[in-house]
Amino acid sequence: MLLNPLTFHAPKTVEEAIELYSTLGEVRLLAGGTFLLNSLKLLKKRGIKTPQHVISLRKISVLQGVKVTGDTLTIGAMTVINDLFSSPHLTDNFAILRTVCRNISTNPIRNMATVGGNLTSRYTWTEMGAPLIALEAVMHFCGTNHTTESITVEDFFKNFAKTEKILTHITIRRDPAAALAYQRVKKLSDVDVPLLAVCIRTHFNDGCFTRTRASINCTTSFAKRDLVLEEFLNGKKTANGIAQEALAHLDTSIYDTRSDDYKKSMFRISIKKAIEDLTRRGQT
């Protein structure tokens, strides 16, 4: 199916993109296009009006790439998943992102889909949210009149991932002492989308879990922290059996909403595996 006629804009700077975005009516931003183009076709099929203008961010070079400055990792919003995966900068706590990227969909999608599109597309199941919450990542936006705004990924998802601005980049602080574990279960075997994802970050202090962050993507609502689990783990010894014990200390509202028995069971298995993984590392 062909798209409805539209005017395609391809600015080369963020300033130009902001100017267009704030002055044109009926406009949508285009990143990798893996969701947007399909959704415009769906709107057309349903007889719903589609936007007259599309602004592609692809030619804005400052929005692309991964770099490290001092102790901060910066990921441009237009960085495609495969480029993040192969970045040599993914060391220390950043390294968990390689595992996350590797699990996303298929190679053709990973070559087109961007980190920014993954975060801002407002699909509850896309999976960059949980690890970036665990990493205490911050999203940086540019809005009308070139105002900038920074918000933690955690707060962005608390606010239902709503934005009228252009996401320019994401920053994460290096933390060599952090240990992270990521578990993800896929939903289908043919088109790979996640059923759930769990990311736990902790530090070991005197053989105990400290400053733990457990972020969960239940895929039916946006990624969020399980504060009950965090509270249970913090201060506990990294002893065998702690993972099993932790399963009695979960914020059940996250896991029970729109979950069948299979999904609930996979949550428990994933959380247990993540804690066991961290426990092993804490004991060495």
Ligand X SMILES: Cc1cc2nc3c(=O)[nH]c(=O)nc-3n(C[C@H](O)[C@H](O)[C@H](O)COP(=O)(O)OP(=O)(O)OC[C@H]3O[C@@H](n4cnc5c(N)ncnc54)[C@H](O)[C@@H]3O)c2cc1C
Summarize as ranges the residues that interact with ligand X (CB under 6 A).
28-36, 57, 77, 104-105, 109, 112-114, 116-118, 120-121, 126-127, 163, 166-167, 191-194
Q: Which of 219, 174, 140 is nearest to 68 (CA)?
A: 174
Q: How far is the CB of 201 from ligand X (least distance, A)?
A: 19
Q: In the bound complex, which residue of the shown chain has the CB atom lying closest to ligand X?
A: 117
Least spacing, CB of residue 264 vs ligand X, in Å: 21
Minimum distance of ligand X from residue 21's CB (angstroms): 9
Between 105 and 279, CB nearer to ligand X: 105
Identify the CA nearest to 30 among candidates 60, 4, 5: 60
Least distance in Å: CB of 228 to ligand X? Answer: 25
- HEC string of 149-208 equals EEEEHHHHHHCCCCCCCEEEEEEEECCCCCEEEEEEEECCCCCCCEEEEEEEEEEEECCE
CB of 260 to ligand X, least distance (A): 20
Which backbone phi and psi does 160 adopt, to 5 degrees?
60, 30
| Identity of the residue, 26 or 231, whose beta carbon is nearer to ligand X in the bound complex | 26
The number of residues making up the chain comes to 284
CB of 212 to ligand X, least distance (A): 24
Nearer to ligand X, 44 or 249 (CB): 44
User: Which residue lies nearer to ligand X by CB, 145 or 284?
Assistant: 145
Nearer to ligand X, 66 or 104 (CB): 104
Cα maximum dimension of the chain = 63
DSSP H or E run through 15 = helix 14-23
Q: How far apart are CA 217 and CA 274, in angstroms?
A: 14
| Residue 167 or 214 having the CB closest to ligand X | 167
Strand pairing of 27-30 and 53-56? Answer: parallel
Q: DSSP secondary structure string, 113-161?
A: -BHHHHHHS--TT-SSHHHHHHTT-EEEEE-GGG-EEEEEHHHHHHTTT
Q: What is the distance between the alpha carbons of residues 86 and 167, in angstroms, rounded to a whole number?
A: 22
Min separation Cβ 22 and ligand X, Å: 13
**Closest CB to ligand X among 111 and 283?**
111
Count of alpha carbons within 13 angstroms of residue 212, beta-carbon side: 28
